[in-house]
Amino acid sequence: MWTVEITLLFLFFLFFSISFVYELLYFSEVVETEEWLGIKLPRFMRSFLQIKPIVSIFLGLFMVLYLILMASVL
């Protein structure tokens, strides 16, 4: 069970890392499209796109911390 949980946590950490990179790239593409068309996104969507990568990286870090905690207990 421990190995399954540690593997899952590691996969979650990988997911949040990839998600962080994807969200940053997606946001930059959205900004580029805004500039190209001259059409601004509504504020709530823009805020979401700005906040989401930060949330992802924090969750990824939380996964790492929990992994370390589990490893130290083991």
Partner 1 sequence: MKAVLDSNDVKKLLTLSGETLIVAKRQHPFILAIKLCLTLVLSACVLFILWAVLSFMQIRVVIQIATYTIAVSVIANFLVKVMIDWYFHIYFVSNRKILEIIAIPFYSDVVNDVFLDQVRTTEVDANIGNFMEEILNMGDVTIAFDRPSHDQLFVMRSITNPRETAMKLGDCLEVIMNSSPVWFKRETHPEHIKFTEDIYPNKLGVI
Residue closest to 57 by CA, chosen among 7, 11, 18: 18
* Binding residues among 12-51 for partner 1 as defined by CB under 8 A: 12, 15-16, 19, 23, 25-26, 29-30, 32-33, 36-39, 41-42, 45, 48-49
What string of H, E and C letters represents the secondary structure of 47-59?
A: HHHHHHHHHHHHH
Work out which of 17, 57, 64, 66 binds partner 1, going by CB under 8 A: 66
Q: Which two tokens mark 64?
A: 């790492």
Where on the chain is the footprint of partner 1 (CB under 8 A)? 4-5, 8-9, 12, 15-16, 19, 23, 25-26, 29-30, 32-33, 36-39, 41-42, 45, 48-49, 52, 55-56, 59, 63, 66
